[in-house]
């Protein structure tokens, strides 16, 4: 594993300092992933998932929000194709993350990138892109720390704990476990909102979802809300968007770390064997 | 022990992996039209709120049609939203939501759960 300069960062710090900071941040993310994973395992068990099924979701799909959503979908009796469509919609944002990381990982062999892709969650992306930018170079080992140590392992161990202990709870509604799913969905949505466009998209998605769910079915309602909400968000004019990171600006590029979209093209060609070029 | 949903996990992987891998394995994907990227940016909030809203506002009555429901679960979800917006801590928000639901149901407040 090597570190490669990208020439995009103006705030490079020593590799050891950057790695130390990454590990510190990873501890916080790991704690969060463990707590959330435990709740997921608990909810899955209460919804009738076997330990094998819950663990399969966490290892094979490895997509927190989509896994929570799948619990609700399965409980509601949705057909698998509908669940697949909703999962694809929910995880479409990952396309932005992979596009953002592409310039940094240009020199990484494709088989390794193929494996890295499976670990590309919201948390892994946030940790990694910040680490690369601080370092001013690509650090593959940092990616593995973010993807495996900070998220994959805690998430899966906690899922196992939750799904194992969940069987001992007789009446989950008395413990309010059924409210975790909608609360988690809403809370995750809040984390993605940075301005009026996202707010309008979210509000419209919810309104359309409820109306169509009442008129047709819950699954059609959710798909309709997810597809139509963004169109409403895009109607918000730039002047009134009040984004902390307006779409299409350099701030937005920084937020999603899309160097190729709005900024000069990084060239991660200089291998410096363990230290960033300065 | 049931393993039926292992197949669903594989299906979910198959629809998730492309969006994670496309940018890394297909150079130039970041050059999609800006409106497409902007749309993708807004899909997450819209889908998640649609799921949350439908979950706590639409109740399927086994003996009748679906109906619009109001219950303390609204308060629980609203508390979670407020805490996540304020503290950026989802776990804390979930704990608050569960606490409100448990206390509310113990007090006999109106709930969407029969």
Q: How confident is the model at residue A175 (pLDDT cuts 50, 70, 90)?
A: confident
CA dihedral A14, A16, A22, A27 (to 10 degrees): -150
- Main-chain dihedrals φ then ψ at residue A5, nearest 5 degrees: -70, 140
A11 pLDDT band (50/70/90 cuts)?
A: low
pLDDT tens per residue across span B26-46: 867 667 787 877 787 788 788
SS3 A92: coil
Per-residue buried b or exposed e for B82-103, using 16+ beta carbons within 10 Å of the residue's own CB = ebbeeeebbbbbbbbbbebbbe
pLDDT of res. A259: 46
Query: Which residues in chain B have Cβ-Cβ distances shorter than 8 Å to A260?
Result: 30-31
Partners of A8 in beta bridges:
none
Q: In this complex, how many residue pairs, one in chain A and one in chain B, have their CB atoms less than 8 Å apart?
A: 342
Give the pair of three-digit tokens for residue B7: 């197949």
- The predicted complex's ipTM stands at 0.86
Q: Is the pLDDT of residue A212 over 60?
A: yes
Q: What are phi and psi of A4, to 5 degrees?
A: -125, 130
How far is A33 from chain B, CA to nearest CA, in Å?
Answer: 9
Domain ranges of chain A: 3-179+264-271
Residues of A in contact with B13 (CB under 8 A): 60-62
With contacts defined as CB-CB under 8 Å, which chain A residues touch B67? 214
Q: Which of A80-89, A150-159, A248-257, B102-111 has the lowest mean pLDDT?
A: A248-257
Q: B102 versus A122: which is more confidently predicted?
A: B102
Q: How confident is the model at residue A253 (pLDDT cuts 50, 70, 90)?
A: low
Q: If you ran DSSP here, which 8-state letter would residue B68 be given?
A: E
How many angstroms separate the CA of residue B19 from the nearest CA in chain A?
A: 5
State the pLDDT confidence band at A9, using cuts at 50, 70 and 90: very low
Domain extents for chain B?
4-106
SS3 of residue A5 by DSSP: strand
- 3-class SS of residue A138: strand
- At residue A162, the pLDDT reads 92
């Amino acid at each position: 594993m090597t570190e490669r300069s990208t020439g995009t960062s103006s705030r490079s710090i020593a590799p050891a300092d950057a790695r130390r900071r990454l590990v510190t941040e990873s501890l916080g993310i790991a704690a969060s992933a463990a707590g959330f994973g435990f709740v997921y395992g608990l909810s899955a068990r209460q919804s009738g998932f076997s330990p094998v099924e819950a663990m399969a979701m966490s290892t094979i799909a490895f997509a927190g929000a989509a896994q929570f959503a799948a619990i609700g979908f399965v409980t509601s009796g949705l057909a698998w194709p509908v669940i697949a469509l909703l999962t694809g919609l929910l995880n479409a944002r990952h396309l932005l993350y992979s596009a953002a990381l592409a310039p940094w990982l240009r020199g990484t062999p494709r088989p390794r990138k193929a494996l890295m892709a499976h670990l590309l969650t919201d948390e892994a992306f946030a940790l990694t892109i910040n680490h690369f930018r601080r370092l001013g170079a690509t650090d593959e080992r940092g990616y593995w720390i973010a993807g495996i140590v900070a998220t994959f392992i805690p998430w899966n161990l906690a899922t196992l704990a939750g799904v194992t202990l969940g069987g001992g709870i007789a009446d989950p509604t008395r413990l309010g476990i059924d409210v975790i799913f909608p609360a988690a969905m809403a809370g995750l949505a809040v984390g993605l909102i940075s301005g009026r466009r996202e707010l309008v998209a979210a509000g419209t998605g919810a309104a359309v979802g409820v109306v169509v769910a009442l008129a047709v079915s819950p699954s059609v309602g959710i798909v309709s809300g997810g597809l139509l909400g963004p169109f409403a968000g895009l109607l918000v004019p730039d002047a009134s968007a009040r984004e902390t990171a307006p779409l299409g600006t350099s701030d937005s590029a920084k937020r999603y770390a899309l160097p190729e979209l709005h900024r000069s093209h990084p060239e991660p060609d200089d291998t410096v064997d363990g230290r960033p070029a300065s | 022990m049931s393993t039926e949903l292992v197949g669903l996990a594989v299906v979910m992987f198959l629809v998730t992996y492309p969006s994670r891998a496309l940018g890394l394995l297909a150079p130039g994907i970041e050059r999609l039209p800006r409106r497409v990227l902007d749309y993708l940016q807004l899909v997450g909030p819209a889908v998640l709120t649609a799921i949350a809203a439908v979950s706590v506002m639409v109740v399927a009555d086994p003996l009748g049609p679906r109906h619009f429901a109001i219950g303390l679960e609204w308060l629980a979800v609203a508390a979670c939203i407020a805490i996540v917006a304020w503290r950026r801590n989802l776990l804390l928000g979930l704990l608050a939501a569960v606490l409100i639901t448990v206390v509310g149901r113990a007090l006999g407040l109106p709930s969407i759960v029969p």
